[in-house]
Amino acid sequence: MSRWKPDAAGRLVKAAMTLFDERGYEATTVAEIAESAGLTKRTFFRYFADKREVLFMGSAQLQDHWATAVRNAPPDVGAIDAVKVGLDAVAELFRERHPLARIRARIIAANPELHERELIKLAKLADALAAALRARGVADPAAELAAQTGVTIFHSAFGRWVRQDDPEALRRLMDESLADLRAVVAG
Amino acid sequence: MSRWKPDAAGRLVKAAMTLFDERGYEATTVAEIAESAGLTKRTFFRYFADKREVLFMGSAQLQDHWATAVRNAPPDVGAIDAVKVGLDAVAELFRERHPLARIRARIIAANPELHERELIKLAKLADALAAALRARGVADPAAELAAQTGVTIFHSAFGRWVRQDDPEALRRLMDESLADLRAVVAG
């Protein structure tokens, strides 16, 4: 095995998801994930603290991409539109991940502890978006409410995305979610 | 000590909050809480699995009151208005709890593990409200979006309620939150 492998993290994620799907999350070991990716356990632990973190690497990337896009939105754009600009970056991030996202959703739905971790990550995502909005000069409660609304839209659209077959649908589903939410709050 | 004491659970909550506030959450024991309430440890464990659950008894009551009110709202009322009807029941539930709610908010903000537990309870509250809306015939995604929006409004208003001095303000703050959220999503 060569000592340097391109995209080791990406290969570990793919190997882990495949094994989680085939054998179950609990039954899969870090050694098996590393072996299946053609890497060592030591390389695994360079990227992930444990096998659970493999499932949540995408959550950290999601938060980074979205909050950065909110910070960099044109200065004249309002709170909800800055949140919406970020959805383009989010859709781009997930474009090629539909098969893995579907497996991940099944694993998380089947494991209450992972489901709780997911809920906490979503709440922290809302906190990060609110901080990005405050950095743009949006005051509370608007910053908090726009950030939480963004996460609500994302979560609803993402749940529908992984339950249907079109990998390209995420952007459209997020737009539909915002339109649905606007109709709901208008009463 | 008589074997029967009225409102043992309420007295345990009040004693626990006072001790948590004075000595810190970590440093307070179940034995001290029971003693301070004039009750036995055995009585404590009849109501609560552990001292953490004392902080979350209100979360369960909140969910019951709110979901029941949504279920019992007049049949011609739409999703967001059914959620809003529930806020009357919620404001009534918390009317007399302002001093304890302020202590509780400080304890939870100071302890990351309790904060995570709080986030999970809020997510489960949204699930319960969505189920209550579906029982009224509201389809998804409207049920999910209206429920999550209700929790967003509640959470934002509650956070402001415990940071100000008027115990009666919760109902008004929740109405303001909904108005703010409507303005935010309108863009």
d(CA A116, CA A122) in angstroms, rounded, equals: 10
Please name the member of A145, A156, A180 whose beta carbon is closest to the beta carbon of B181: A145
Give B177 to chain A, closest Cα distance, Å. 8
Q: How many Cβ atoms sit within 10 Å of the Cβ of residue B116?
A: 17
Mean pLDDT confidence for B110-126:
93
- Structure confidence at residue B157 (pLDDT): 96
CATH number at residue A127: 1.10.357.10
- pLDDT value at position B2? 46
Q: What is the pLDDT of residues B13-22, one digit of tens each?
A: 999 999 999 9
Which A-chain residues 72-91 have CB contacts (< 8 A) with chain B? 78-81
**How many domains are there within chain B?**
2
- When scoring B76, B85, B152 by the number of chain A Cβ atoms within 10 A, the one with the most, hence best to mutate, is B152
A67 and A135 co-located in one domain: yes
Tens of pLDDT, residues B129-166: 999 999 999 999 999 999 999 999 999 999 999 999 99
> How far is the alpha carbon of B29 from chain A, nearest alpha carbon, in Å?
27
Q: Residues A162, A90: one domain?
A: yes
- pLDDT given for residue A2 in this prediction: 46
Low-confidence stretches of chain A (pLDDT beneath 70): 1-6
- How would residue B1 be classed by pLDDT, with cut points 50, 70 and 90? very low
Q: Residue B77: what pLDDT?
A: 94
Integer Cα distance of B127 and A76 in angstroms? 36
Same-domain check for residues A119 and A68:
yes
Q: Which of B27, B48, B69 is the last residue of a domain?
A: B48
Residue-wise pLDDT for B60-116, tens only, equals 999 999 999 999 999 999 999 999 999 988 998 998 899 999 999 999 999 999 999
Parent domain of A85: 54-186
CA gap B79, B86 in Å, rounded: 11
CA distance B11 to B15: 6
User: Is residue B120 predicted with pLDDT exceeding 50?
Assistant: yes
SS3 content of chain A, % helix, strand, coil (to 5): 80, 0, 20
> Six-digit token pair at B160?
């402001």
> Which of A123, A141, A184 has its CB closest to that of B145?
A184
The reply to whether A146 touches chain B by the CB within 8 Å rule is: yes
- B43 & B55 share domain: no
Q: State the nearest Cα–Cα gap between A145 and chain B, in angstroms.
A: 6
Instruction: Report the percent of chain A where pLDDT is more than 90.
Output: 89
pLDDT band (50, 70, 90) for residue B187: confident
Complex prediction ipTM: 0.89
Inter-chain residue contact B152 with A145, CB threshold 8 Å: yes
Instruction: Please tell me if residue A160 touches chain B, with a CB cutoff of 8 Å.
Output: yes
Average predicted confidence (pLDDT) for chain B: 93
Whether residue B99 contacts residue B168, with contact meaning beta carbons closer than 8 Å, is answered with no
Same domain, B61 and B38: no
